[in-house]
């Protein structure tokens, strides 16, 4: 089976005012990004994803848009179906629907919502997917389900078009929502788990990786070490960090070669980077355009 063609997303942590948001979206399109993403977080400066994405699609021509990802326990399934249907329509069919079970207890506390055990949150995610399918039918946008645990990845293997991997897990002994990097071996096991659970539909799945950091300075090793310093738990040595699929370091040509290798090994053909890498990652897009 031939490898999927690469595509690339940019996740904007903030939107700002209208002029700022329009400029960001148009710049992402100009640089060649295929997908504009907005996360679903509470806090000062954080945007509601779906309205922001409706504007993003209105002021661009080509990129798809995706909430990356909706914390499904925040939402009533019937009302969410209405929101999704509306945004899918006004974006001209350019909406992908990113869903997750939620992992930041502090945000649930802030919203006054109960923090349920992971099993219950994933069960609610599964119920919501079923309700969206019932209400929207063929109007349901392409579905991205993201997570790391067995339960959510099993659901993704059965229901999603795109499986999202952040390469992170809950840090042991830390408050809920405190995340740490998983190893390359663990990430490979997670992608294999999804393929095994997907069975005959495994070839239909697209694998997305949320790249946690891109280092393109003259000393990318030092840059990666500085980025990793605050992460909870034992730190892998620099050599291991440079092999972490969630991190990219080097020149644009070196990163492009790395992405070829990781597509072959893990199946990641769809990569999303955070807003700080908007400009510095663009040469990689150009190097891999059409591949």
How does pLDDT run across 189-236, given as a tens digit for each residue? 999 999 999 999 999 999 999 999 999 988 888 999 898 888 777 667
Q: What percent of the chain has pLDDT over 90?
A: 81
Burial class (CB in 10 A: 0-12, 13-18, 19+), 135: middle
> Is it the case that residue 177 has pLDDT exceeding 80?
no
Least confident of 124-128, 140-144, 173-177, 276-280: 173-177
**266: enclosing H helix or E strand:** helix 252-266
Nearest-5° Cα angle at 86, 39 to 151: 45
For residue 50, name the pLDDT band (cuts at 50, 70, 90): very high
Mean local confidence (pLDDT), 25-31: 98
Structure tokens at 103: 């992992």
DSSP SS3 for 149: coil
User: C-alpha distances in angstroms, 255 versus 34, 102, 187, 208, 258?
Assistant: 18, 31, 19, 17, 5
The pLDDT score that the predictor gives to residue 238 is 80
Task: Give the orientation angle of helix 184-198 with respect to helix 252-266, to 10 degrees.
Answer: 40
- Number of residues in the chain: 291
Mean local confidence (pLDDT), 282-291: 91
Q: Is the dihedral of CA 258, 261, 264, 265 positive or negative?
A: negative
């Amino acid at each position: 089976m031939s490898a999927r063609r690469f595509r690339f997303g940019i996740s904007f942590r903030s939107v700002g005012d209208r002029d700022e948001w329009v400029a960001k979206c148009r710049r992402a399109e100009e640089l060649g990004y295929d997908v504009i993403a907005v996360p679903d977080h509470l806090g000062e400066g954080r945007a509601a994803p779906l309205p922001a994405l409706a504007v993003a699609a209105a002021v661009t021509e080509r990129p798809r848009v995706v909430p990356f990802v909706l914390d499904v326990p925040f939402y009533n399934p019937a009302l969410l179906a209405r929101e999704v249907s509306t945004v899918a329509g006004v974006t001209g069919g350019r909406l992908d629907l990113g869903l997750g079970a939620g992992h930041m207890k502090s945000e649930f506390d802030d919203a006054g919502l109960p923090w349920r055990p992971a099993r219950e949150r994933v069960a609610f995610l599964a119920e919501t997917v079923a309700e969206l399918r019932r209400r929207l039918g063929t109007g349901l946008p392409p579905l991205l389900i993201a997570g790391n645990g067995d339960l959510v990845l099993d659901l993704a293997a059965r229901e999603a078009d795109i499986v999202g991997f952040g390469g992170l897990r809950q840090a042991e002994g830390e408050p809920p929502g405190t995340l740490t990097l998983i190893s390359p071996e663990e990430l490979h096991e997670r992608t294999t788990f999804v393929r095994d659970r997907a069975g005959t539909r495994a070839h239909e799945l697209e694998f997305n990786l949320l790249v946690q950091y891109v280092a393109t300075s003259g000393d990318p090793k030092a840059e990666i070490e500085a980025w990793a310093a605050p992460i909870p738990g034992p730190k892998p040595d620099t050599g291991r960090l440079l092999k972490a699929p969630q991190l990219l370091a080097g020149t644009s040509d070196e990163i492009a070669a790395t992405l070829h290798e990781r597509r072959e090994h893990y199946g990641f053909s769809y990569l999303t980077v955070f807003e700080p890498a908007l400009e510095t990652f663009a040469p990689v897009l150009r190097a891999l355009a059409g591949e």
